[in-house]
Structure 1
Amino acid sequence: MNQCTGLLFLPPPAYVTRLATPDRPMEAGHVLCELGEGHDDDHAGVLWDDDANDGAVWARWDGYRRCLVGLPWCTATDVEGDACGLFAGHPSGHSWEVVDPTQEAILAHLVQEHPHLHRDQDGPDSS
């Protein structure tokens, strides 16, 4: 499934901006929804890991509100044992099922332009 196209402009809260230093300014930025398209819940984009609580801080938003919330990681793993990169209880598919079409288009272009750099998983260069 394709990745949701939800986008949030997120200026840092005033209390966070006060913690900034000249060499580490706090700047506003855009957050992309990481869920699969067509989800029925708030949009969600991870902001930073929260290792102390075995999760991450996520921006959650809809058309009317936005918030930052700490959420534990999803415990699902794929057949190779890779963990889902979304939060526990997320709507739509797991992170390995969500495809960013822009990233896929860039990868296809790079493979076409530089086939000698592409490692086919079933080919002789695979590890």
Structure 2
Amino acid sequence: MNKCTTVALFDPPDWIVALFASVRRLETRHLFCELGEDHDDDHAAMLWDEGGRPGSAVWARWARRNMRLASLGWCTALTPKEEACGLFDDHPSAHAWDVTDRTLEAWKRELAKDFPDHFPEYGEGHES
């Protein structure tokens, strides 16, 4: 499944910047939804994580122009190789390992041309 292509401008108001000043520097930037393209809930992008503790990841969740910050626990699902999902608990759509970021994949294919030892999975015979 492909990654959602929704982008939002994160432009925190001054009072939010002041509230988080002792924890994190918040600045205006674009956020890219990290969920699979078929989700039917708010979009989501992780802003930061304070060491992987439960509830330590702060996510931006948005629908249209309404954005909120939420401290969310991590999804507990694991692959057979015990790799973590990387999304928040009870996320809509597929787990992170089933979501393909086509832009990132294109960058890796290009980098593999110059640095094949760093990207062996994109060598000859790799399916696009």
TM-score, normalising length from structure 1? 0.80
How big is the shift at 1:87? 0.7
Structure 2: which 5+ runs fail to align? 122-128
AA of the residue aligned to 1:30: H
How big is the shift at 1:64? 4.1
Mapped to 2, the partners of 1:85 and 1:118 lie a distance apart of 21
Give yes or no for the alignment of 1:39 onto 2:29: no
Distance 1:3 1:115, change over 3 A: same
Q: Pick which of 25-34 and 67-76 moved more.
A: 25-34
Q: Which residue of 2 aligns with 1:54?
A: 54
How big is the shift at 1:13? 2.9
Secondary structure of the equivalent of 1:96? helix
Distance 1:74 1:52, change over 3 A: closer
Mapped to 1, the partners of 2:17 and 2:6 lie a distance apart of 25
AA of the residue aligned to 1:69: A
Mapped to 1, the partners of 2:117 and 2:10 lie a distance apart of 40
Q: Pick which of 90-99 and 104-113 moved more.
A: 104-113
TM-score, normalising length from structure 2? 0.80
Mapped to 2, the partners of 1:63 and 1:102 lie a distance apart of 23
Q: Pick which of 109-118 and 54-63 moved more.
A: 109-118
Deviations 1:20-78 (CA, angstroms, capped at 9, x unpaired) = 59xx9642111110000021110000111145851311101111411111111100001
Give yes or no for the alignment of 1:81 onto 2:85: no
Structure 1: which 5+ runs fail to align? 121-127
Secondary structure of the equivalent of 2:109? helix
Matches within 5 A, 1:10-29: 10-18=10-18, 20=21, 26-29=26-29
Q: Pick which of 99-108 and 10-19 moved more.
A: 10-19
Distance 1:116 1:59, change over 3 A: closer
Determine what percentage of the aligned residue pairs are the same residue. Answer: 46
